[in-house]
Amino acid sequence: MDCETARCDVTPYGLEMSGSGPADYGESARSIRGFVETAERFGYPVTLLTHPEVAIENRELLLKLQAKGACLGLHVHPYKLIGKKHKHDLGAYLANEQREILQEAMASWGAAIGSAPRYFRAGYFSANDFTFGVLEDLGFLGGSLSNPGRVLPEHCSVWAGAEPYPHRAHSGVRLIRGESDFVNVPVSGAFGRPVARGHAGEQGFEWSYIPHTYDHREIIRDVLDRFEVDCPRFGTIVTDTHNDQDYTDPNHPSSQNLLLILESITEYCGNLDLEPVGITLDALCELVLAEDNPASN
């Protein structure tokens, strides 16, 4: 889940750039809690990538969930940072500018949570060829930064041809595998289901963005069929949502989509004689680093 700043704390410009987010932090907490409880019923842990303002206002809930096994990370839309006047998405900035933006966000997030963030995703999956190197220099260990196939230039989110499976990032070319100590875990696109205009206006592929009216059952089938062909070492199904969906309401469309996704994973994995295993972002990054480390072999 990308946990967004409450709309009451975002400038009109920020809302124009990205209107996602709860009305207030009570709505945020309710959404987070319901999402976690639903995932837990299926035996899955969660990763919560939170804007600094959410880390501050929902601190007690986040720390409680972290103690129960949730992975906490940093999420940033530069123009949603309180008190800042950034105008663009992260991928629009040069390396030194990205570093400054991220350091600002890290300081607020770390003061609230009590430790520095080590996992990251930018809003809109916005990044450029500087981003992975900047994140590694700042001490991040991994993230879920890419949406393979997405073409959304107005938000500096262009991932056509990107590596589709978890991998060590390349410090200078965002689209390919590399040898850095930063692990990128891409969103799982349904490459057999192209779209000319997705939920954010992008070209690309359907994927398990839970609030959208994509055919989530067929997305899961498409991704798992691809695993059968590609035989990836780490075949992942990465979903996403925001903390403005009421997952405590079983009749809410996003609640129904989430259940459909989880049930489809169970059904199709059973059909393919696969065993789905839930894993948090931090644990998966550790596995990727360990497998690629000659000293561990």
- What does the domain layout of the chain look like in residue ranges? 2-158+166-289
What is the structure's pLDDT at 296? 44
Terminal CA-to-CA distance of the chain, rounded, Å? 34
What is the structure's pLDDT at 232? 96
Each residue's pLDDT tens digit in the chain (297 positions)? Answer: 999 999 999 999 999 999 999 999 999 999 999 999 999 999 999 999 999 999 999 999 999 999 999 999 999 999 999 999 999 999 999 999 999 999 999 999 999 999 999 999 999 999 999 999 999 999 999 999 999 999 999 999 999 999 999 999 999 999 999 999 999 999 999 999 999 999 899 999 999 999 999 999 999 999 999 999 999 999 999 999 999 999 999 999 999 999 999 999 999 999 999 999 999 999 999 999 998 664 444
Residue 72: strand, helix, or coil = strand
What is the structure's pLDDT at 260? 98
What is the structure's pLDDT at 96? 98
Q: Which of 100, 6, 15, 99 is nearest to 52 (CA)?
A: 6
What is the structure's pLDDT at 297? 41
pLDDT in tens, 147-167: 999 999 999 999 999 999 999
146 with 174: CB under 8 angstroms? yes
What is the structure's pLDDT at 291? 86
Cα 252 versus chain centre, distance: 22
Which residues 6+ apart lie within 8 Å of 213 measured at CB? Answer: 253
The phi-psi region of residue 150 (left if phi > 0; otherwise alpha if psi is between -120 and 50; otherwise beta) is beta
What is the structure's pLDDT at 223? 98
Start-end of H helices in 87-246: 95-113, 131-137, 216-230
CATH topology of domain 2-158+166-289: TIM Barrel (3.20.20)
What is the structure's pLDDT at 293? 63
Amino acid at 134: V
**Burial category of 246 from C-beta neighbours within 10 Å (exposed 0-12, middle 13-18, buried 19 and up):** middle
Amino acid at 31: S
What is the structure's pLDDT at 18? 97
66 with 74: CB under 8 angstroms? no
Q: What is the DSSP code string of 177-218?
A: B--SS-EE----EEEEEEESS-TTS-BEEEE-BTTS-S-HHH
What is the structure's pLDDT at 160? 98
H or E element at residue 253: helix 253-271
- Residue 117 CB neighbours (<10 A): 25
Q: Which of 162, 155, 206, 154 is nearest to 184 (CA)?
A: 162
